[in-house]
Amino acid sequence: MSENKIPYKIYLDENEIPKQWYNVRADMKNKPAPLLNPQTHKPLKAEELYPIFCKELVAQELNDTDAYIDIPKEIQDFYKMYRPSPLIRAYFLEKALDTPAKIYYKFEGNNTSGSHKLNSAIAQAYYAKKQGLKGVTTETGAGQWGTALSMACSYFGLDCKVYMVKVSYEQKPFRREVMRTYGASVTPSPSTTTEVGRKILEAHPGTSGSLGCAISEAVEVATKTEGYRYVLGSVLNQVLLHQSVIGLESKAALDKYGVKPDIIIGCAGGGSNLGGLISPFMGEKLRGEADYRIIAVEPASCPSFTRGKFAYDYCDTGMVCPLAKMYTLGSGFIPSANHAGGLRYHGMSSTLSQLYHDGLMEATSVEQTAVFEAAEKFARVEGILPAPESSHAIRVAVDEALKCKETGEEKTILFGLTGTGYFDMVAYQKFNDGVMSDYIPTDEELQKGFDGLPKVD
């Protein structure tokens, strides 16, 4: 089929929503290193995770052999409310850049939570309900995960307690109200409602909080409250599994038109959207069936892939969670308060960390003013006001397309547009007022985080 027959939006039919998630770990020769018990440093057994996570999700977390896992009918039904999400050919952006590159993006912002996070929230809420739990606890940074989870919990009639990083709680009151509208309770973190929160407040009075702190608080509440478990919106293997729906749909849509991307780009916070987007493509790469250039994009102010260490680390500041082997800045790392754009987690998915370590993907970091410049350009030509997180991917997609302009190469670029930025207007305001600045941590600052890494032999 000729190129110019490709529509602006490639939609799949409702019955083309994947019926199985794809588990890329099944095709990895070097599996991600196992989670370790934070006290004994021995690999965790499933039973040790049961007080924290639902049983079925523990099974998914530890499963690195089954390539396909059925999506339960109830989750497939919920997906129909907002999936398949459109795969868009960025004709207007291509024209604005005057590039021979062909740019596609998968848009995950078409639901009230405004991001891809709902794909995993609904799955995690479903398994909690199925296990007969009363509710779940979680943390949220920018607020997208908390919003997605509160929607999912209200759908299944579960209670939802959200610990929201204090700086976002204050900057994003409307996010908080969306969560409360869906019935969640929202507490700014660190808080005095938990032991670990009180400890962190004592050690760092006036802290604006971090994801790592909020995780510790949410885990403490889950493990101390009857009928509750903890759920996490990124980083974990199970979350990457659920997010594979993004990549599976993208691939199905491109396959319809015989399009094969040369470069696949995604922003990386904890790695879930990127892991989900690339998974079927990475599967082909791992099985030797195709090759793709895959690029993770992270903020220069929180550079876990590009400047972090590949080591076992705590997943949270309070050091109560299992240890994961990942690219990390140390669980004590808190990005500069001037960093506006999300993607502020200190570590990275252990699956993506292993793939990166094995040279199967690349990573790059970008500064936030350059990210917002790309966001503004994109909003003006493609019509969608992107989330700052997503705009990291836009930045690099634009840069790659501009390289094609120089070389005349007609590369096909696919990137993940993970969400909309309507709740990020404080950050956009800073950018519009010309007062946004870039902050790159020094080696000395990063060293402080590395000094806190646990010694694991």
Q: How far apart are CA 91 and CA 381, in angstroms?
A: 9
Task: Please identify which residue in 58, 254, 387, 414 interacts with ligand PLP, judged by CB under 6 A.
Answer: 387
**Residue 273 makes contact with ligand PLP by CB under 6 A:** yes
Task: Please identify which residue in 32, 188, 261, 271 interacts with ligand PLP, judged by CB under 6 A.
Answer: 271
**Residue 247 makes contact with ligand PLP by CB under 6 A:** no
Window 397 to 456, contacts with ligand PLP (CB under 6 A): 418-419
- Give the number of other CB atoms < 10 A from CB of residue 76: 17
Q: How far is the CB of 113 from ligand PLP (least distance, A)?
A: 8
**Closest CB to ligand PLP: residue number:** 419
Q: Which residue has the tokens 């396909």?
A: 68
Peptide bond between residue 84 and the one before it cis (omega within 30 degrees of 0): yes
**Residue 117 makes contact with ligand PLP by CB under 6 A:** yes
Binding region for ligand PLP (CB under 6 A) out of 175-183, 189-197, 265-273, 325-333: 265-273
Q: Please list the residues that pair with 416 across neighbouring strands.
A: 106
Q: How far apart are CA 45 and CA 51, in angstroms?
A: 12
Q: How far is the CB of 234 from ligand PLP (least distance, A)?
A: 3
Q: How far is the CB of 421 from ligand PLP (least distance, A)?
A: 8
Pick 78 or 107: Cβ nearer ligand PLP: 107
Q: Return the closest-CA partner of residue 88 out of 390, 370, 298.
A: 390
Task: Please identify which residue in 85, 99, 144, 207 interacts with ligand PLP, judged by CB under 6 A.
Answer: 144
Q: How far is the CB of 116 from ligand PLP (least distance, A)?
A: 7
Burial of 157 per CB tally in 10 Å (0-12, 13-18, 19+):
exposed
Q: Please list the residues that pair with 115 across neighbouring strands.
A: 419
**Residue 138 makes contact with ligand PLP by CB under 6 A:** no
**Residue 389 makes contact with ligand PLP by CB under 6 A:** yes
CA distances from 242 to 20, 116, 238 (A): 9, 10, 6
Pick 89 or 175: Cβ nearer ligand PLP: 175
**Residue 36 makes contact with ligand PLP by CB under 6 A:** no
* Binding string, residues 214-243; x marks residues near ligand PLP by CB under 6 A: --------------------x---------
Q: How far is the CB of 390 from ligand PLP (least distance, A)?
A: 5
Binding region for ligand PLP (CB under 6 A) out of 15-23, 99-107, 271-279, 332-340: 271-279
Task: Please identify which residue in 361, 390, 396, 431 interacts with ligand PLP, judged by CB under 6 A.
Answer: 390
Peptide bond between residue 441 and the one before it cis (omega within 30 degrees of 0): no
Which residues 6+ apart lie within 8 Å of 164 measured at CB? Answer: 139, 140, 141, 143, 146, 175, 176, 186, 187, 188, 189, 214
Binding region for ligand PLP (CB under 6 A) out of 8-16, 51-59, 163-171, 383-391: 383-391
**Residue 301 makes contact with ligand PLP by CB under 6 A:** no
Pick 270 or 318: Cβ nearer ligand PLP: 270
Q: Return the closest-CA partner of residue 147 out of 107, 116, 171.
A: 116
Residues that bind ligand PLP in the complex, under the rule CB under 6 A? 115, 117, 144-145, 234, 267-274, 342-343, 387, 389-390, 418-419
